């Protein structure tokens, strides 16, 4: 029994260390794309050898960050409950969820080669859920039917990127940037 507890603690500790490295890598690389593994280690509060234990080289770290971002997007999409209530409100919830992924998603936008991985299909399940919500909004009359679902998706990403840039480069408080983003989204998709 004691061995099982020790193994669980070790695997919990490994998971926390891996999470710290991935989060630090996304945050650091979003602002400093050329940061070294040593820089990532320092940002994660671990030694460089620890980073190498989890990710032998930069390409394996970047591949793991890419997969992690996809997982975060999938989780955020689930939390937004896109099938609940009016579709326009569902898109607002999704926008709020995605806003919290600023560092990770900014990194993906600014480093498109990270999206070349096989996991980044043309349309991920999160993309398909989004497009379905927009089409549902067209049918409900809550989203302008003259706006193609793909266009609405592009508009949402552009608004999010603008909000993240406001917080990064203009010291706009996160709450203010998100409020402006949601306000603009409402106006953009209104029938």
Structure confidence at residue 9 as a pLDDT band (50, 70, 90): very low
Tokens 């067209």 label which residue? 138
142-186 pLDDT, tens per residue?
Answer: 999 999 999 999 999 999 999 999 999 999 999 999 999 999 999
CA dist list (Å): 114 to 71, 78, 153, 157, 183: 14, 23, 20, 17, 31
Structure confidence at residue 116 as a pLDDT band (50, 70, 90): low
Locate the domains of the chain by residue range: 1-56, 59-189
pLDDT at 73 over 60: yes
d(CA 153, CA 147): 10
Q: Which of 15-19, 103-107, 127-131 has the lowest mean pLDDT?
A: 103-107
> Could you tell me the pTM of the whole model?
0.86
pLDDT at 140 over 70: yes
Fold (topology level) of 59-189? Tetracycline Repressor; domain 2 (1.10.357)
The b-or-e profile of 24-48 (16+ CB within 10 A means b, else e) is bbbbbbbeeeebebebbbbbbebee
| Domain 1-56 = CATH 1.10.10 | yes
Structure tokens at 147: 């706006």
pLDDT at 108 over 90: no
What mean pLDDT do residues 25-44 have? 94
């Amino acid at each position: 029994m004691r061995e099982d507890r020790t193994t669980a603690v070790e695997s919990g500790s490994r998971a926390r260390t891996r999470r710290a490295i991935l989060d630090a890598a996304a945050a650091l690389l979003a602002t400093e794309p050329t940061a070294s593994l040593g820089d990532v280690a320092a940002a994660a509060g671990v030694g460089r050898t620890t980073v190498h234990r989890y990710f032998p080289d930069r390409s394996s770290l970047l591949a793991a960050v890419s997969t992690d971002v996809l997982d975060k997007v999938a989780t955020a999409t689930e939390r937004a409950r896109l099938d609940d209530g009016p579709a326009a409100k569902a898109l607002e919830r999704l926008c709020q969820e995605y806003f919290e992924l600023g560092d990770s998603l900014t990194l993906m936008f600014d480093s498109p080669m990270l999206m070349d991985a096989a996991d980044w299909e043309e349309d991920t399940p999160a993309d398909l859920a989004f497009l379905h919500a927009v089409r549902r909004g067209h049918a409900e009359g809550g989203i302008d039917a003259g706006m193609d679902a793909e266009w609405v998706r592009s508009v949402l990403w552009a608004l999010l990127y603008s909000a993240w840039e406001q917080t990064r480069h203009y010291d706009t408080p996160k709450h203010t940037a998100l409020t402006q983003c949601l306000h603009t989204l409402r106006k953009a998709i209104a029938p």
